[in-house]
């Protein structure tokens, strides 16, 4: 069943973002192999942190 409310969807988005934070190197490596040299591990970490922060700010 899909999340019924915005707050339930937000929970899953934050949870997914935090789960990816443990695998940043594994996530960024295929992008670099595909030609995105700008997506270093630290760049992906910064973007992921900004994403999770924006989600948390959406809580109010």
Q: Counting beta carbons within 10 angstroms of the beta carbon of residue 12, is it exposed (0 to 12), middle (13 to 18) or buried (19 or more)? A: exposed
Distance CA 30, CA 44 (A): 12
- Record the tokens describing residue 39, joined without a space: 């997506």
pTM score of the predicted model: 0.76
Quote the pLDDT of residue 58. 82
pLDDT tens, residue by residue, 24-51: 988 899 989 999 999 999 999 999 999 9
Q: Counting beta carbons within 10 angstroms of the beta carbon of residue 41, is it exposed (0 to 12), middle (13 to 18) or buried (19 or more)? A: middle
pLDDT tens, residue by residue, 7-28: 888 888 888 888 888 889 888 9
Q: Counting beta carbons within 10 angstroms of the beta carbon of residue 55, is it exposed (0 to 12), middle (13 to 18) or buried (19 or more)? A: middle
């Amino acid at each position: 069943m899909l999340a019924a409310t915005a707050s339930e969807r937000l929970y899953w988005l934050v949870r997914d973002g935090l789960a990816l934070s443990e695998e940043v190197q594994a996530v960024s490596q295929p992008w670099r192999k595909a030609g995105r040299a700008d997506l270093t591990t630290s760049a992906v970490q910064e973007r992921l942190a900004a994403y999770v922060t924006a989600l948390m700010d959406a809580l109010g």
